[in-house]
Amino acid sequence: MSTQDWILHVDLDQFIAAVEIARHPELRGRPVVVGGSGDPTERAVVATASYEAREFGIQSGMPLRFAARRCPDAVFLPSDPPAYEKVSEQVMATLRELPVVVQVMGWDEAFLGARTGDPEALAAQVQRAVSAETGLSCSVGIGDNTLRAKLATGFAKPAGIYRLTAENWMPVMADRPTDALWGIGRKTAKKLAEAGYATVAELAAAGRDGLAARFGPTMGPWYRMLAHGYGETEVTSTPYVPRGRGRSTTFQENLTDPAEIAEQLGVLARRVAEDVAEEGRPAARVQVTVRFAPFFTQTRSLTLPAPTSDAAEIERAARTVLERFEGNRPIRLLGVRAEFPRA
């Protein structure tokens, strides 16, 4: 078997739920939902759900109270980010001990670059190493670029291995909707379908000029490239660096008083400023998210005159952005995010 370069995408199965189940073995096999303070009567959303809970239609981002209605017998647990970060670091350290280049993509996923004649054997080695060190299972996608490796993982779940390359790209992907592609969401897929490109094959066959005219000179051709399965062919070991730091609060009672809204925004902005200072990188842009009752979300942002870590400047920018929201509807969630300058 000839040796060649491969990219593997490692995705930890039901990561947050798996960490919690490892801490509470008695919950294995039961529907587990993690989010907020773990109280489904409070306003918060699902961070993740175990596979048993997903069988009831519970998904990440769903309000906890909806999850409780769908599965009254589910076990609800509070979110514990420090614990997940610790386990994630343990997993990534384990991957770095293998003969691969590791590119961390988040808590629960990473790309691996490797030169091997048997990528499936390497993927199985990855799974054994992660399981032995952490007790967690992972799915591994194998590809000739990052896009195909990432999508292959979806076919591998849970705890499997799948190869997706130029050779089997169209047989596997042709009849799938365009939002099956990494980088195309539901809204874009709807617009593509309205233009006559409902499937990956239809998008791949589209003319570059027509796509550019309808979706822009950059995005249009890029959508076509995704449909052909093009992606990065190199993995870098550059450490994962977050693009920003943010904080948000879901209020148990809607906020209607402008003074209270401004006060809560200030609290969030100052916490974000502390995160920015801890990160050691200045903020270049400040973003504010407002979720109005009953469940309508808007986001506005402001580019700062110059990158800064000054708490007063970040708070001032957040207050300026807040003024850009129209209306005086009740607010159920506020969020502030500081984005770092692009490298």
Nearest Cα residue to 101 out of 93, 111, 91, 90: 111
Q: CA–CA separation, 127 vs 158, rounded Å? A: 12
Are 81 and 56 within 8 A, CB to CB?
no
Long-range CB contacts for residues 274-279, cutoff 8 Å, separation at least 24: 274/311, 275/245, 275/247, 275/338, 276/245, 276/309, 276/314, 276/338, 277/309, 277/311, 279/242, 279/245, 279/340
Which are the contacts of 105, defined by CB distance < 8 A and separation ≥ 6?
Answer: 111, 240
Q: What are the strands, taking DSSP E only, across 107-210?
A: 109-116, 138-143, 161-164
Catalytic site positions:
109
Structure tokens at 174: 């042709």
